Amino acid sequence: MNRLLAIIAAAVALNAWATTDSVKVVKGQVSDYFIPVVTDYQVTGVVADEQGLPLEGATVMWLYSPAHCNTDAQGRYSLTGTDHDSLLCIHYPGKEMTVVTRAATQRQVNITLPIKTSGSLAAPRREAQATRWYDPRNTATSTYCNPLNISYNYEPWNNNTRQGGSFRSSADPMALTYQGEYYLFSTNQGGFHYSRNLSDWEFCQASFQRYPADDDECAPAAWVVGDTLFYTGSTYEGLPIWYSTHPKSGRWRRAVERNTLPTWDPYVFLDDDGRLYEYYGSSNEYPLKGVEISRDDFTPISKIYDLVRLHPDRHGWERFGMNNDDEVTLKPFTEGAFMTKHGGKYYLQYGAPGTEFKVYADGVYVSDHPLGPFSYQQHNPMSYKPGGFVQGVGHGGTFADLQGNYWHVGTCMLSLKYKFERRIGLYPTAFDADGVMYCNTAFGDYPCWNADRDIKNPVERFTGWMLLSYGKPCTVSSTDSTLTAASLTDENMRTYWSAASGGPDEWVMIDLGSMCEVRALQLNFYDHKTVQHNRANDIYYQYSVWASDNGHDWTLVVDKSDNDRDVPHDYIELCEPLNTRFLRISNIHMPSGGNFCLSEVRVFGKAAGALPQTVKKFTAKRDKADRRNAMITWAAVDGAYGYNIYYGITPDKLYHCITVNGDTQYDLRGLDLGTDYYFAIEALAETGVGPRSKIVKINH
């Protein structure tokens, strides 16, 4: 065996060598060499064409090895190998390059090379075609659909990815307006995203990474002073505070070399009077803290105040666990401080109880002063989404768009390959006439109007396009292992299907069951057998979408055959309604060697027929033993696929919404002691939304 190959193989698979052969360690002047001691021998055979005629001059080599030999006039070869060399690669002009697997005991391998029929290994390149429904040269949207379709970075190569493989993640978002655009900052992105309408996002690289196997900047804070954008990350050791007046250039300078406070999950707030405040903390022991800091060097100039701590014994939604059901394992975490000033009041937001749970939410305390004292808002949590396709909306930030409408970006739970595998959601937010801050998550994972529309009432952001794909049958080209097609329409982001390969012959077909008016699609790609860590500039998805009335005759609807964008949750808003029953997604290219893999195919629009009826037998019963809990039940409605449960602190403040698909009960464990609650429910069908039920009150 070639000595260089042996050294390389020993370096990457030392354990494998050690179990079968001895290893000799040679001490060198510069470094140590691990040289495997192996038994080599000759592997021989004949290379012939499909007619059995010998091929002279064929190259025979071990796959990805520089060691090779050429066949003689009789097509014979002899190649030195060991028991570890199992893949023979054979090349001959005009023939298919062929890889043959041999067993360790097999010393003679005869090989037949077929005539070359395939073209280049590269995907065919052509300009994508425009259709009535989609123009690849004009892709701006007027709607959006959570989770946000941004280029989520891949986790670095570390212990988090070694077991489950490559995965994307981002969390802890905050957004702001700068020079007429929206800037989105979040954990481990190596830069930031920006947009003009909150639905079409671009990425700008601005990496501050110091350790390649660690996060770039965790839970970053950004703030604007005049024409300058400042930025820093979470730290217990001291990080710089960077600044730029041209952030899209990717170049930043240091305002200070090291931040002096242990600011994990920081937020820096510039008040109307020009005074600067910092809020920080992430702990299940210590409260969130606040302090006034200098605008010159960002050092503290006031007392450091303890501001907010959790009270899970009184606030059910602050309890640990996937459904606020774990009061044993750990105390819940409070983190992600954020400040919003509105109407002369200071609204201090905080995340709880843990980012890996569907009940992750943001609460709010209110004060007349930026450093308190703060009072717990009766309507809490402020942002809450434990149901539907996208779950969780905690550790986020609130900002006003260019037309003065408020939005909240928050962390969405995925937690499949790793507990901190997460996405980002965007939700309209408002302050009512009584100064109550609330976030509207109803239809929060359906198509909603973006910031181009000046919509004051958050409820009016919903387009009315219903989910047409829930539970619908799918046919697929192939399946890898147990990753079946049933996961494609189960409205569960934590399940996924994968084809057997990432090739252009893989496809998914969904039967909507009847002719429907389709307005938008959301293709939620996932990573199966992908090899990618950290950010790269060659990550993109290419595919096409076809429609059919009968499942046999197909019309091109969406052509993304030359797409070069990273669109892991690709949302396609159609130019005009599409009337169809069948849809087929045909793969062309998946990034980084991964299989064609989707966690969900979501189709939105309207089906013909009457609206669903009002829900009957709706009850909400508070647990007598634990008043933080309530069991909600109702009778199924014909034609309904899901239900929205609304509740709040008064009949006109039903700001909370929980979406339940395919069930007629919900175990709610997020109530506060000492608070009366009011509940109502509505049925969701492909034809639209049914009337709300009568309001049900449960006393404290």
pLDDT level of residue 14 (50, 70, 90 thresholds): very low
Q: Largest alpha-carbon pair distance within the chain? A: 94
CA–CA separation, 197 and 175 (whole Å) = 13
Task: List, for residues 141-152, the tens digit of each pLDDT value.
Answer: 999 999 999 999
Output the pLDDT for position 22: 58
Mean pLDDT of 413-422: 96
Beta strand segments in 240-390, E? 241-244, 253-256, 267-270, 276-280, 282-283, 288-293, 305-308, 334-342, 345-352, 361-367, 375-376
Taking alpha carbons only, the member of 493, 468, 240, 275 closest to residue 388 is 493
Average pLDDT for residues 511-519, to the nearest whole number?
A: 98
Q: Is 153 exposed, middle or buried (0-12, 13-18, 19+ CB in 10 A)?
A: buried
| CATH superfamily, domain at 3-112 | Carboxypeptidase-like, regulatory domain (2.60.40.1120)
Query: pLDDT band at residue 28, thresholds of 50, 70 and 90?
Result: low
Contact 262, 169 (CB under 8 A): no
pLDDT at 4: 33
pLDDT of 17 over the 60 cut:
no
* Phi, psi (rounded to 5 degrees) for 12: -95, -15
How is the beta sheet containing 305-308 ordered, strand by strand?
Answer: 267-270, 276-280, 288-293, 305-308
Is the pLDDT confidence value at 137 over 50? Answer: yes
What does the pLDDT average to over 449-458?
Answer: 98
Q: Which of 569, 631, 693, 622 is nearest to 152 (CA)?
A: 569
pLDDT higher than threshold 80 for residue 13: no
What contacts 27, CB < 8 A, 6 or more positions away?
none
Whether the pTM exceeds 0.85: the reply is yes
* Predicted pLDDT at 25: 58
Helix, coil or strand: residue 242: strand
CA of residue 228 relative to chain centroid, distance: 30
Q: What pLDDT does 336 receive?
A: 97
What does the alpha-carbon distance between residue 505 and residue 444 come to, in Å, rounded to a whole number? 34
At 126 the pLDDT is 81
CB atoms near residue 372 (< 10 Å): 17
pLDDT number for residue 195 = 98
Q: Looking at the chain, how many residues does it have? A: 700
Q: How many helices (H) and strands (E) does the chain have?
A: 3, 48
Which pLDDT tens digit goes with each residue over 356-369? Answer: 999 999 999 999 99
Domains 3-112 and 619-698 share a fold: yes
Query: In this predicted model, what pLDDT tens digit does every residue of 286-314 receive, in sequence order?
Result: 999 999 999 999 999 999 999 999 999 99
Query: What is the pLDDT, as a whole number, of residue 286?
Result: 96
Q: Would you call the peptide bond into 651 cis, given omega within 30 degrees of 0 as the criterion?
A: no
Nearest to 367 by CA among 456, 295, 271: 271
Q: What is the mean predicted confidence (pLDDT) over 389-417?
A: 98
Question: What architecture does CATH give domain 619-698?
Answer: Sandwich (2.60)
In contact, 225 and 243? CB cutoff 8 Å: no
Query: What is each CA distance from 281 to 259, 305, 310, 421, 422, in whole angstroms?
Result: 15, 12, 12, 21, 20
Spatial contact of 521 and 545, defined as CB atoms under 8 Å apart: yes
What CA–CA distance (Å, rounded) separates 231 from 228? 10
* Domain ranges across the chain: 3-112, 146-445, 474-606, 619-698
Q: Is 48 helix (H, G, I), strand (E, B) or coil?
A: strand
Smallest Cα–Cα separation from 186: which of 246, 120, 233, 253?
233
- Per-residue pLDDT, 21: 52
Residue 574 has pLDDT above 90, yes or no: yes
The larger pLDDT score, comparing residue 509 to residue 36, is at 509
Does residue 27 have a pLDDT over 60?
Answer: no
Model confidence pLDDT, tens digit, residues 244-296 = 999 999 999 999 999 889 999 999 999 999 999 999 999 999 999 999 999 99
d(CA 573, CA 513): 22
- Stretch 312-317: mean pLDDT, rounded? 98
Question: What integer is the mean pLDDT of 532-559?
Answer: 96
Average pLDDT, the chain: 93
Options 2.60.40.10, 2.60.120.260, 2.70.50.60, 1.10.10.10; CATH for 474-606 is 2.60.120.260
Per-residue pLDDT tens over the stretch 553-569: 999 999 999 999 999 99
- What local confidence, expressed as pLDDT, does residue 209 receive? 83
Instruction: Give residue 39's pLDDT.
Output: 87
Token representation of residue 59: 């190259």
- Nearest by Cα to 54 from 81, 28, 29, 76: 76
Residues 6+ apart with CB under 8 A from 358: 322, 323, 386, 387, 391, 392, 413
Preceding peptide of 353 cis, ω within 30°: yes
Residue 500: burial class (beta carbons within 10 Å; 0-12, 13-18, 19+): middle
List the structure tokens of 555: 């019309």
pLDDT digits (tens, 9 = 90+) for 612-653: 999 999 999 999 999 999 999 999 999 999 999 999 999 999
Q: What is the tens place of the pLDDT at every residue in 186-232? A: 999 999 999 999 999 999 999 888 888 888 889 999 999 999 999 99
Domain range 146-445, CATH architecture: 5 Propeller (2.115)
Q: Is it the case that residue 15 has pLDDT exceeding 70?
A: no
Would you say 141 and 200 are in contact if contact means Cβ atoms under 8 Å apart?
Answer: yes
Residue 16 predicted with pLDDT over 50: no
Matching residue, tokens 């690289």: 205
Write out pLDDT tens, residues 318-359. Answer: 999 999 999 999 999 999 999 999 999 999 999 999 999 999
Query: What distance in Å separates the CA atoms of residue 576 and residue 582, rounded to the nearest whole number?
Result: 17
